[in-house]
Structure 1
Amino acid sequence: MILEHADITIAPGRNAEFEEAIRRGIATVIAKAEGFRDAQVHRGIESPERYLLTIHWDTLENHTVDFRGGPLFPQWREIVGPFFAKPPVVEHFELATQHP
């Protein structure tokens, strides 16, 4: 399983709108993607315009090829893209160790 970590900064004062949009985007678009497992969104405390979106995918290719290269990605960006103050920084991680 792969963890996608997207660091998102939005325009100030648009938190409520963005949070509704990202909830809707995950439920109606990303959840339909091949290999999607789950997603979480965290809002920054010190920087409330900053969000961390984490998504578990079955494989790296499920995100980078199937989702980003497929028809769902433009739908996703149409929903959340207007809120971005700058392009998100996206990285992928694999589990190195786990504590129960």
Structure 2
Amino acid sequence: MGLMGFLFAPRKDHKGWSTPSEAARLYFLLVLGGSAVWAWPLTQGNILLWLGLVAFVATPLLTVGWWLISLVSQRFESRVLVDSLNRIDRSKKKSIHSFRKP
């Protein structure tokens, strides 16, 4: 699987739930970092205004970007989140953590 498959393949966690792809995770960091750098000079160092502007700008960018990433990700088969998930004994009904006392 090439770079596109690595970036856009949806990830399955230890419970089998779908989690964001690597592309979605990288996009999140890029959008937050980019909006933070862009907004800092506009807010002249006012932290609360900066946080509000970053949230205001990043929200629609993340929504549209994640939607586009999900459209691309539909072409790829899901992969496990980490390779150690391939070694889990799925024949057991209870997880390791179910034996802990509350």
The TM-score with structure 1 as length reference comes to 0.30
Give the structure with higher Rg (CA): 2
The TM-score with structure 2 as length reference comes to 0.30
Richer in helix (by share)? 2
